[in-house]
C-alpha cells in the first residue's frame, strides 16, 4: 500500500499528517523570531524546560499544556534573572537553568509514569496522536499565528532595533516574555511530533533555511513555514515508507533542505559564491 | 518658554562604576548641540540615560518640560551604526516605515499615507532610489542616511543622534549635517554625540564638553578654547595640538 492510500484509509495517519504540518508551520514562524533575536539556545532551553511541567500536570491530573507553559515561562524568567543580576553570561545561565529543569523533569516522570512515556515525550510519537491532541495543536497554531499577525509590527521593530523600540516606549521585556510564552506553546504542540529533544531543530533549521533565501521578514516567515510543513510531509512519508522514527526523519529532511539552500541559495549559496570568485580571479589573472 | 531639555544633578553608573557624575545643564529649543569629549567620557551614556534606556542613579531630567515617559513620541533616537544587525531581512523603505510606528500605535498598520511619507523622507536624504534594497547592501554613509530618514519619519520635536558621523563618507556627512541644520531652523532641537573635535565649530551652535562630569556647556566659542579642551582631554595631547593650530 502506498503512502497516499494509507493516509486515505487510516485515521491515525491523517491525524499525524495534519498535526505535523501544523507543527512545521508554527515552528517555522516562531523560529524566525528566535534566530533573528539570536536566541537559538533559548529555544533549546525552553523546549527542555517544559518536561517537569508535563510531569506535574500528570500528577495533578490537568492537561499537560498548563504545566508545560508554567515551567517553560518560569525557566525563561529564571534565565533572565540570573544573567541580569550576576556576571554569569546569558548562555551559561541558559545552560544551568534548562538542564536542571530537564533533570527534575526526568526524575518526576520516572516516578510518576513509565519509561515508555518518557521516551515518547523525548522523541515524539506522531502516530499515537489522539484527536484531542490534534485539536490542541490546531488551537495553539491558530493562537500563535494570530499573535504574530497582530503584533507583527512590534515583533519586527523590537527584533531589529530594540533600542529604538525601547526609546519610543515599547515594553521590550514584556515582548520578550510574550515571545517566550509563544515559544513554550509551540514546544508543547510539537511534543508528540518530534519530541522535546528535537523541537529545537524544527525551530531553527527551517527558519535558517528561510533566512538564507529571503531579504524581507514577511517572506522569511512564509518560507520558514513552508519549509517546516514540507519537512513534516516528506519526513512522515519517508518514515512510513522505510519504517524509520518519524520525528528524527522529519528533522533530517529539514536539514537536507537547509543544506540545499546553503549550497545553492541565489545570493548566499556557497556554490555560486565560489564560482563567482573563481571567475573574478581568472579575470584578474588573465 | 519651557526648555527643550533640562538636566539637574544627574548621576549614572555601570555595574557600580561611576560613568557620569553631577551633570547639570539646560538646552533651549531650536538648537543644534554637540556632545563631545574623549573616549569613555560617557557621551553615549548621557544620551541613553536622558531617555531612560539605562537607569539613572540620581537626578532630574525634563524633556519639553515633562518626564521622558510622557514625551517619548516626541523624541527620535538614532543609535550607533555598530549596534544594528545589517543582515536583518528588512528593506530600506521598511526601515524608514519603522519611524511611523510610534504614532500608529499597536493595532494599526502602515498604510498608503505612511508609505508615501516614508518615500518623502527617503527623498530628503537622497536615498529614494535605494528604497527596495536590503539595508546590508548599502555603504555606511547610506545606512546612516536611511536611519536619519527614519528619524525624520517620526516627526518629533527632539532628535538624539549617537555618533552619526563615524565611518561614513564625506558627502553623506555633509547631507546629514545639512538636514540637521534645516531641522534646527524649523524649530527642532537636535543633540548629537560627536567624536571629532575638528569640525565641531562648523557643525554645532553649542557644545556639551564631557569627561564623566560636565567640563563646560556653552556656545562653540566658549567651549572650544585650549584650556577647556585640555581640561577634558587631559593626556590626549595630539588632539590638543591640532585644535590649537586649527583654532588659531
Question: Which H, E and C letters describe B81-126, residue by residue?
Answer: HHHCCCCCCCEHHHHHHHHHHHHHCCCCCCCHHHHHHHHHHHHHCC
Which residue in A153, A208, A216 has the most chain B C-beta atoms within 10 A of its own C-beta, making it the best mutation to test that interface? A153
ipTM of the complex: 0.88
CB A250 within 8 A of CB A20: yes
Beta bridge pairs of residue B161: B78, B192
Instruction: For residue A161, give the nearest of B84, B107, B134 by CB distance.
Output: B84
The pLDDT of residue A267 is 74
The pLDDT of residue A114 is 65
Half-sphere exposure for B185 (CA within 13 Å, toward CB)? 6
**How does pLDDT run across A84-97, given as a tens digit for each residue?**
888 888 889 999 99
Domain ranges, residue A129: 3-285
User: How many domains are contained in chain A?
Assistant: 1
**How does pLDDT run across B17-73, given as a tens digit for each residue?**
888 988 999 998 999 999 998 888 888 999 999 999 998 999 999 999 889 899 999
A130 touches chain B (CB under 8 A): no
Hey, what domains does chain B have and what are their CATH numbers?
5-247 (3.40.50.300)
B151 touches chain A (CB under 8 A): no
With beta carbons under 8 A apart, name residues in chain B contacting A216.
Answer: 89-91, 94, 134
With beta carbons under 8 A apart, name residues in chain A contacting B101.
Answer: 153, 157, 168
The residues of chain A scoring below 70 in pLDDT are: 1, 113-116, 286
Please indicate whether, in this complex, the C-beta atoms of A216 and B91 are within 8 angstroms of each other: yes
**How does pLDDT run across A103-159, given as a tens digit for each residue?**
999 899 888 866 667 788 888 888 888 888 888 899 999 999 999 999 999 999 999
* Distance of residue A215 Cα from the nearest chain B Cα, in angstroms: 4
In chain A, which among 54-113 make CB contacts under 8 A with chain B? none
Please indicate whether, in this complex, the C-beta atoms of B75 and A154 are within 8 angstroms of each other: no
In the 8-state DSSP scheme, what is residue B165?
Answer: T
In the 8-state DSSP scheme, what is residue B164?
Answer: T
Instruction: For residue B109, give the nearest of A153, A157, A168 by CB distance.
Output: A153
B54 touches chain A (CB under 8 A): no
The pLDDT of residue B238 is 53
With beta carbons under 8 A apart, name residues in chain B contacting A150.
Answer: 107
Q: Which residue of chain B has the CA closest to A172? A: B53
Beta bridge pairs of residue B11: B58
B85 touches chain A (CB under 8 A): yes
Q: Is B221 left (phi over 0), alpha (psi -120 to 50) or beta?
A: alpha
Q: What are the grid coordinates assigned to B158, written together?
A: 527632539
* Distance of residue B101 Cα from the nearest chain A Cα, in angstroms: 8
Query: Any idea which residue has 555603504 for its cell?
Result: B139
CATH for A66 = 1.10.3470.10
The dihedral sign for the CA sequence A82, A88, A89, A92: negative
Whether the predicted pLDDT of B242 surpasses 70:
no
Q: Which of A130, A45, A129 is nearest to A79 (CA)?
A: A45
Which residue in B81, B90, B136, B193 has the most chain A C-beta atoms within 10 A of its own C-beta, making it the best mutation to test that interface? B90
Amino acid at each position: 500500500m502506498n503512502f497516499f492510500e494509507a493516509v486515505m484509509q487510516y485515521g491515525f495517519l491523517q491525524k499525524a499528517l495534519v498535526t505535523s504540518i501544523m507543527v512545521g508551520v508554527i515552528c517555522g514562524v516562531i523560529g524566525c523570531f528566535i534566530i533573528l533575536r539570536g536566541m537559538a539556545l533559548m529555544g533549546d532551553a525552553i523546549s527542555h524546560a517544559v518536561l517537569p511541567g508535563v510531569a506535574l500536570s500528570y500528577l495533578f491530573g490537568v492537561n499537560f499544556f498548563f504545566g508545560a507553559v508554567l515551567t517553560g515561562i518560569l525557566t525563561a524568567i529564571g534565565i533572565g534573572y540570573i544573567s541580569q543580576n550576576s556576571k554569569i553570561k546569558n548562555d551559561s545561565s541558559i545552560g544551568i537553568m534548562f538542564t536542571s529543569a530537564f533533570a527534575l523533569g526526568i526524575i518526576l516522570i520516572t516516578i510518576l509514569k513509565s519509561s515508555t512515556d518518557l521516551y515518547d515525550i523525548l522523541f515524539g510519537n506522531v502516530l499515537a496522536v489522539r484527536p484531542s491532541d490534534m485539536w490542541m495543536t490546531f488551537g495553539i497554531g491558530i493562537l500563535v499565528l494570530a499573535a504574530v499577525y497582530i503584533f507583527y509590527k512590534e515583533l519586527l521593530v523590537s527584533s531589529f532595533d530594540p533600542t529604538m523600540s525601547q526609546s519610543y516606549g515599547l515594553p521590550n521585556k514584556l515582548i520578550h516574555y510574550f515571545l517566550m510564552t509563544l515559544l513554550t506553546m509551540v514546544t508543547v504542540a510539537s511534543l508528540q511530533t518530534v519530541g522535546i529533544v528535537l523541537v529545537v531543530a524544527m525551530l531553527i533549521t527551517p527558519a535558517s533555511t528561510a533566512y538564507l533565501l529571503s531579504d524581507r521578514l514577511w517572506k522569511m516567515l512564509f518560507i520558514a513555514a513552508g519549509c517546516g510543513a514540507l519537512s513534516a510531509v516528506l519526513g512522515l512519508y519517508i518514515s512510513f515508507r522505510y519504517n524509520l522514527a518519524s520525528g528524527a526523519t522529519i528533522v533530517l529532511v529539514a536539514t537536507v533542505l537547509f543544506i540545499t539552500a546553503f549550497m545553492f541559495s541565489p545570493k548566499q549559496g556557497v556554490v555560486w559564491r565560489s564560482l563567482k570568485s573563481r571567475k573574478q580571479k581568472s579575470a584578474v589573472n588573465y | 518658554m519651557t526648555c527643550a531639555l533640562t538636566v539637574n544633578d544627574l548621576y549614572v553608573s555601570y555595574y557600580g562604576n561611576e560613568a557620569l557624575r553631577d551633570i547639570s545643564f539646560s538646552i533651549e529649543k531650536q538648537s543644534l548641540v554637540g556632545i563631545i569629549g574623549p573616549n569613555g567620557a560617557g557621551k553615549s551614556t548621557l544620551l541613553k540615560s536622558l531617555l531612560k534606556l539605562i537607569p539613572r542613579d540620581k537626578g532630574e531630567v525634563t524633556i519639553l518640560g515633562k518626564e521622558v515617559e510622557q514625551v517619548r513620541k516626541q523624541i527620535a533616537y538614532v543609535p550607533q551604526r555598530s549596534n544594528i544587525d545589517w543582515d536583518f531581512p528588512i528593506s530600506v523603505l521598511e526601515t524608514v516605515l519603522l519611524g511611523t510606528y510610534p504614532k500608529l500605535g499597536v493595532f494599526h498598520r502602515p498604510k498608503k499615507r505612511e508609505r508615501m511619507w516614508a518615500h518623502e523622507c527617503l527623498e530628503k536624504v537622497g536615498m529614494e532610489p535605494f528604497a527596495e534594497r536590503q539595508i546590508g547592501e548599502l555603504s555606511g554613509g547610506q545606512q546612516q542616511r536611511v536611519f536619519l530618514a527614519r528619524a525624520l519619519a517620526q516627526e518629533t520635536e527632539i532628535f538624539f543622534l549617537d555618533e552619526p558621523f563615524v565611518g561614513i563618507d564625506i558627502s553623506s556627512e555633509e547631507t546629514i549635517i545639512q538636514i540637521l541644520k534645516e531641522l534646527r531652523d524649523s524649530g527642532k532641537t537636535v543633540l548629537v554625540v560627536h567624536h571629532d573635535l575638528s569640525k565641531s565649530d562648523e557643525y554645532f551652535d553649542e557644545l556639551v564638553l564631557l569627561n564623566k562630569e560636565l567640563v563646560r556647556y556653552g556656545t562653540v566659542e566658549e567651549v572650544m578654547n585650549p584650556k577647556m579642551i585640555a581640561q577634558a582631554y587631559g593626556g590626549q595631547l595630539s588632539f590638543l595640538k591640532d585644535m590649537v593650530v586649527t583654532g588659531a
